[in-house]
Structure formats: structure tokens, C-alpha cells
Structure 1
């Protein structure tokens, strides 16, 4: 926290450094987004990135919870008395939420997900994972739509489908890594139905039953992407290019899982460089004709 409140330009420069220095793919994503919103997206990304780090990059869940609670106070200050905000993220974010008319709820929801991660490490069903995504993933899609001037709930609900599917695709991709962090995002009822145990996950045993379970989960997630794809027809063409890139990126993760026989235990499925080039090339052509 700086001693003196930074100017808006200084705050935006700080967010630019965080956004472009922390995650190289952010350059690619923002290139496809409408240029008029560049500084807004950098402020949004900085908030999301910092919130995630406060929950994950700390020594204990207790510390994470305390930091997230303090961050929540700064968020509410950003909305209620923005002139008092001193952290550069909230100085930049305050201008974005004011000019783009973004409600506070998506930001609050995102913090709720990070708080839940401090105490909840198992989920009973896909429905429970979808409920988790209401807080962990869906707010990001809603932030993007609001920023670009789309406030209709019908579009938000389609965005929720895509964001939930992206969250689930990442869960299916990261089974082994999540286990190492003490978390299991596979639905417990599916594990019971297929006879998959946590001992098998710990031992990295990709049994036929595990593969069959993953096949079913991938199919459910593909259907969710298909449902949400109608969102791309409800927004202007330039934004649709970016939303389509998000969706296809998630579907490509599912393709990678399928390509290695639904074994996400012995090695993490990755999107190949060739697949990434194909995705970006296709999006580039679509952007040029949008």
C-alpha cells in the first residue's frame, strides 16, 4: 500500500506492469479485445490476479483468509468512497467500474470463491462444482460483458455457461496438480459411481474406470460449451472473436485430455504449440474480417 494515493495514470501504469509482466498470454488475449477497453481490462486482470495470489500464494489458509478479508474491505471502499482508495489496483479499478457501470457483485463473488478454497477441498457433485464456478469463474465473464457495455442478464447467463465449462475443463486437466495442493475437484458422486478412490489419485493410477469417468466428465463439459456458444451471436463481432477464442481454448483442453486416453493422472494434458497457433491464426482471420 503506497503512502500517498497514486494518480490515475500512475495506477494504470502499475496495473499494466502487473498484467503484462505476470502472465504472457494476457498480451494475446487483450490484443483480440476491443482496444478502447485496454486499461479497463488491465485493471480487471490486476484485481483478479492479486485476489488469487492472496488466497494461494501464502503460508497458511488462516493468513489467506485474513488477507482476503482485508482485500474485501478495500473493494467496498473502492465503490463506496473511491476518493479514499490508495492501492493502485483500486484507484484504477474505481475509474473502470464507474465509467463502465460494473456492479460490485462479480468482484465480491470472486473473493468468495478464494475464501472457500481456504476451507473446502472436496465437492459432492457436478452441481456443486457449478455452484463453485458461480463465484470462481462466472464473475470474470460478467466483468468483461459489463465493461463492453452488455448488461443484459440473458447474455450473462450464456457467459456463465462458457465460464463454468472453462473452469471444469481446467479441473479435469489439473487433477494431479490439484491433489498436490490438497484439493480434489472431481465430483465425489462420480468417483463413487466409477469406483475411483483418492488412493488411486495419490498413486497416479489411471485405471480404466478413471478414464471412463473422465470421458463422461469431458462429454458433459463439451455440451456446456455448446450451450454457451450462442453468446457469440449476441455481441458485436470484435468481442465475439475473443469470446470464441476463450471457448475454443477450453474445447482444445478437452481435446488434449481425449488425445491421451483421458489419463490426467500420469501426466497433465497440454495444448500443443501447433494447436495454439491454429487457434490464434483462426482468431486473427476472424478479427480482420470483423
Structure 2
């Protein structure tokens, strides 16, 4: 089932949400598993946001996009930005627009994170190296931290923090962004080998220099002590960002805490797998096996019950 359709063939809301579910299940298996722990309305909204983000990413990173000239990709991003602005003004052109409009109505949210993500895609047009972590952090915020902001209204806040007349709702934005950055740093470490094939190195240049590991060695997939020390440093940084995000999970609505904890722990588990592979992300793809995912769900449930 395709989300794209001519204006006279826009699928029903149920059909469009089902298409989002199928796409999420196919392309984001660990993430999808976490969404199934949510109540139906919330999981559908998360599927819609995921597919919107995937469509945005495909403008730059699909196999077809990689064959296109930079000017054409830039134009695509401009068109997508205008379409996003139109969506937030109420214009519905296809099934994805329909579910996104429904999600925005149910869970009101600002347009800025969506526009920031598009800016992250623009960074990929011209930036293939990052001199410092501060520069990389901006990229990680735009392409992944924004997802936390897009979804925080869907997750909701535990009424225990908002029910008293004197209570002030906690701000989950910082933790939401931290989780997105942690996930993106994990993606970068997992995909070092794949990214080098596209001429991209996301590991900060200052870190390569610090550990005495050259760009030529990275492109050649050289495994040595310098590489392992570099990767240990990168994994610690990613885990630190996961730790920052944990502080905000306790504020979430009870029906969101378990799936968020499950997703956080399962994604962080990729870092453990990288260690088990002796940091060889050039010849192996790190992933948490299905058995490990299901074994961790009860642990995540217990953690989610504590505030």
C-alpha cells in the first residue's frame, strides 16, 4: 500500500495509518517493537511521524538520491520544506499528509523541529566531515534530536506531575533531544563502514587526531589499537548521552514509559554489540538479535514502574 496518491485518490485515514504501520515494521524493527507497547492512538501517531522522517531522509540517502546532482537534491529539499509548511497550514495531498494532519490535530506541536530536520538534510549536501564534536552535535540534533521534540507531545506527561494546582509540568525537551542525539551517535558508530563508502566521515576530525588514527586508515578499514581506543571514546560519549536522556523518562505518561525505556535500552544495546565485535564495524553490522530484544522487555518494564 502506498502513501502517495493523486489528490482524488487520497486513502482513508485507516488505510494511511496501516501503510505507516507496515513501513515502520519493515524498516525500523527495533523501534517498531517499542511502539507496540503503546496504546493504539499513540502508536499510530508515532508511526506517522516516523514515516515523515523517513521520507525526509530519503530525499538525501536513498539509492536513487545518491545518483542525483547536488542542485537537484537542494531543490527537492526546498519543495519538501514548502510542502511541510503547507501541511501545518492544513493542506493534505496524500495519505502521509492525512495521517500527519490527524497527528498534529490530536497532539498539537510546533513546526520548528520539522524544519530543523530538513536543515539537517541540507547539511549532508555540503558537509562530509566534522572538525569538532560541537559541529557534529548540531547535525545530530537536526537529524535525530528533533524526533524527540516531534514525539514528546505524543508521549505526554505523567499526571502525577501536573495534577496539583501548584504543580508545574516538567520540561522533557532536553531529555528528548538527548535521546535523539544518543541514537544518532549510535547510528554513526554502527555505520562507519557504510558511510565511508559514500565518502562521509562523521567521527570528528579532532578525535581522529587525538587518537592518532588517520582518515586513510579509516577508509581502508584498518583495525589497530588506535582505532579501538578511538571507538571506546566514542562509545562512552554515546552512553553519556543516553544517560542524559534517562532523567526525563520518569516524567513521561505511564503508558509511554515502558516503550521509551525499551527503545532506549535496545538501541543502547547496539553499543554493547560493537564492543563484542572488537569494534570491527567495517566488516560487520552491529545489531541486537531478536531473542535479546524480547529478553530485555521485562527488564524495561520493571525499570519503567519506578519514578
Hey, what's the Cα distance between the residues in 2 that align with 1:15 and 1:273?
22
Task: Check if 1:79 corresponds to 2:88.
Answer: yes
Q: Determine the structure 1 residue equivalent to 2:7.
A: 3
Could you tell me how far apart the structure 1 residues matched to 2:239 and 2:197 are?
A: 26
In structure 2, relative to structure 1, the CA distance for the partners of 1:132 and 1:205 (3 Å cut) is: same
| Ranges in structure 2 where 5+ consecutive residues have no aligned partner | 158-167
* Aligned residue pairs, count: 288
Aligned to 1:65: 74
Tell me which residue corresponds to 1:53.
Answer: 58
Q: Distance in 2 between matches of 1:201 and 1:92?
A: 42
Task: Please list the CA deviations of residues 83-103 of structure 1 after superposition, one character each: whole Å capped at 9, or x if unmatched.
Answer: x32122112211211221111
Per-residue deviation at 1:191? 0.5
How far apart are residue 23 of structure 1 and its match?
4.1
Residues 1:44 and 2:45 are matched in the alignment: no
Q: Gaps spanning 5+ residues in structure 1: where?
A: none
For residues 134-172 of structure 1, the C-alpha deviation after alignment (integer angstroms, 9 at most, x for no partner) is: 111111111221123359673110111121111111111
Instruction: Name the CA shift for 1:282/1:221 in 2 (closer, same or farther; >3 Å).
Output: same
Over 3 Å counting, the alpha-carbon distance change for 1:270 and 1:25 in structure 2 is closer
Indicate the SS of the match to 1:268: coil
The structural deviation recorded for 1:122 is 0.7
Instruction: Note the C-alpha offset of 1:288.
Output: 9.8
Task: Give the superposition deviation at 1:77.
Answer: 0.5
**Of residues 82, 91, 94 in structure 1, which corresponds to 2:101?**
94
8 Å contact from structure 1 (residues 55, 65) kept in 2 = no
What is the CA–CA distance in structure 2 between the aligned matches of 1:183 and 1:139, rounded to whole Å? 22
Deviation readout 1:169-191 (Å, 9 max, x if unpaired): 11111111110121101110010
Cα distance in structure 2, aligned partners of 1:78 and 1:153: 29
Aligned counterpart for 1:18 among listed residues 2, 20, 23: 23
Please say if residues 141 and 160 of structure 1, whose CA atoms lie closer than 8 Å, have aligned partners that are also in contact: yes
Aligned position for 1:270: 287
User: Normalization by structure 2: what TM-score?
Assistant: 0.84
**Measured at CA, do residues 271 and 284 of structure 1 come closer, stay the same or move farther in structure 2, by a change above 3 Å?**
same
CA RMSD across the alignment: 2.5
Moved more, 182-191 or 1-10: 1-10
Whether 1:157 aligns to 2:174 is yes
Cα distance in 1, alignment partners of residues 32 and 242 from structure 2: 24
* Cα pair 2:107 2:153 within 8 Å, conserved: yes
Distance 1:43 1:269, change over 3 A: closer
Equivalent in 257, 260, 275 of residue 240 of structure 1: 257
> Cα 1:169–1:24, aligned 2, differ >3 Å: closer, same or farther?
closer
Secondary structure of the residue aligned to 1:206 is coil
Given the superposition, is the C-alpha separation of residues 122 and 218 from structure 1 closer, same or farther in structure 2, using an over 3 Å criterion? same
Deviation at 1:72, TM superposition (A): 1.1
- Residue in structure 2 matched with residue 185 of structure 1 by the alignment: 202
Describe the superposition over 1:235-290 as per-residue Cα deviations: whole angstroms up to 9, x where unpaired. Answer: 12221111111221232111112223333334333323443232234346778999
CA distance in 1, matches of 2:177, 2:305: 27
Please report how far the alpha carbon of residue 109 of structure 1 lies from its aligned counterpart in structure 2 after TM superposition.
1.2
Match of 1:145 among 137, 148, 152: 152
Equivalence for 1:34: 39
Task: State the shift of 1:25 in Å.
Answer: 4.1
